Amino acid sequence: MKRKYDVAAYIWPAYTGDEPRTRMFWSEGIGEWQSVKNSAPKENGYHWNRKPLWGYVNEADPEVMEQQIEAAVSHGVNVFIYDWYWFDNRPFLENCLNDGFLKAKNRDKMQFYLMWANHDANNYWNINLSDDQGDTVIWQGAIGRDSFDIVVRRTIDKYFSQPNYYKIDGCPVFMIYDVQNLISGLGGIEGARSALSYFREQVKAAGFPDLHLQITIWGENSFNLSGFDSNMRGSTKDIVSILGADSVSHYQFVHFADIDRDYTEILADVKKEWGRIDREYSVPYFPHISCGWDNNPRFRRFRGGIVKNNTPENIKKGMEMAKEYLDNHSEQTPLVTVNSWNEWTETSYLEPDDLYGYGYLEAIKEVFLDE
């Protein structure tokens, strides 16, 4: 019997103007499509000018998401990982998931899970301020225990309860993006461990076997374990173990690799990193493939650090590499994470454009459906 793979693409839920708080970043009311649509040549002549074949659609519209679900599933993408935010004691950018995806008539064809994008919100989203004030924090991603408990309850009741929420061995998968912010907000590593234990207890009380906690890793970094200024440090591997994570994956190649070069050269280093994780970690690693990197649409001045030659043919090589990894780890769930479905302003997307058409999606189809 042919093996079935779970190809999970991250979704950046900012392509809607339906939420009022988005207007402080994108005043035209179309979300971050504004930065894509208005991309202009830089002072050095560089011009990022890709255009979406589907147009500047509102992804909080269920009819739009019905089209996207059909396109995804027919090309082998069967899971969406929604970037999920909690800023200023309330959710942010939920409309695409709540009003678009979850109201789509064909939503049962596609599974989904959440990645809590608990990084700080800053002016990188505002092209008028990103060049000189990009690091200015607007909302902090770190939250205290009271807010964390609200997040737990909301996540279980509103999302884990959905019949198409993605599970591994019956356990709903929940990914955390910024481990340092998690630890800092909860007062240190012990506070974070206690909060996650509570999360597991609540998941079990809701009738699930357990929580599947997935951690985003950025290479082997050093973390402050105390929650305040201290010499108490731990590595990524330490954190994964202490917090009792069930698996790890990446979000973007740029987090751990030199991306300012040819895509095939990047893949060689990515494969080495997978091997290191395999040797050093005791939990499953789900292979990750990024489609590219170029965040010039978010800035008026030129930004260096651009992936070269990320053609559909080379993306296919990455997908083949991920498939080989999964086949060599047949004991674990055959899940691969992909950046991304729609990170247009970082030039790492699967959606069809005017340069390669459906080329990126066809690459996935050829590897995971046709072979």
Q: What is the CATH number of the domain that holds 64?
A: 3.20.20.80
For 41-53, write each residue's pLDDT tens digit: 999 999 999 999 9
**DSSP collapsed to 3 states, 264-282:** HHHHHHHHHHHHHHHHHCC
Select from 265, 315, 363, 336 the least CA-distant residue to 81: 336
**How confident is the model at residue 227, as a pLDDT?**
61
**How confident is the model at residue 225, as a pLDDT?**
75
Decide if 271 is inside a domain.
Answer: yes
**How confident is the model at residue 230, as a pLDDT?**
58
| Separation of alpha carbons 81 and 11, rounded Å | 6
**How confident is the model at residue 233, as a pLDDT?**
83
Global confidence as pTM:
0.97
**How confident is the model at residue 42, as a pLDDT?**
94
Decide if 347 is inside a domain.
Answer: yes
Instruction: Give bridge partners of residue 86 from the DSSP assignment.
Output: 91
Decide if 147 is inside a domain.
Answer: no
Strand-strand pairing, 111-116 and 121-122: unpaired
**How confident is the model at residue 228, as a pLDDT?**
58
With vertex at residue 135, the alpha carbon angle to CA 133 and CA 140, rounded to the nearest 5 degrees, is: 125
**How confident is the model at residue 234, as a pLDDT?**
81
Decide if 238 is inside a domain.
Answer: no
Strand-strand pairing, 79-87 and 6-11: parallel
Decide if 155 is inside a domain.
Answer: no
Q: Residue 38, by phi and psi: left (phi above 0), alpha (psi -120 to 50) or beta?
A: alpha
Decide if 151 is inside a domain.
Answer: no
Could you give the number of structural domains in the chain?
1
For 93, the token pair is 């950018």
Decide if 108 is inside a domain.
Answer: yes
**How confident is the model at residue 187, as a pLDDT?**
92
The CA-atom distances, in angstroms, between 86 and each of 6, 46, 148, 150, 259 are 27, 35, 10, 10, 30
Mean pLDDT by 10 residues, the chain (371 residues): 90 94 94 96 94 97 98 98 97 97 98 98 94 94 98 98 98 97 94 97 98 94 69 85 97 97 98 97 98 97 97 98 98 98 98 98 96 64
Mean pLDDT of all residues belonging to the chain: 95
Parent domain of 328:
6-141+250-370
Peptide bond into 27 cis (omega under 30): no
Decide if 161 is inside a domain.
Answer: no
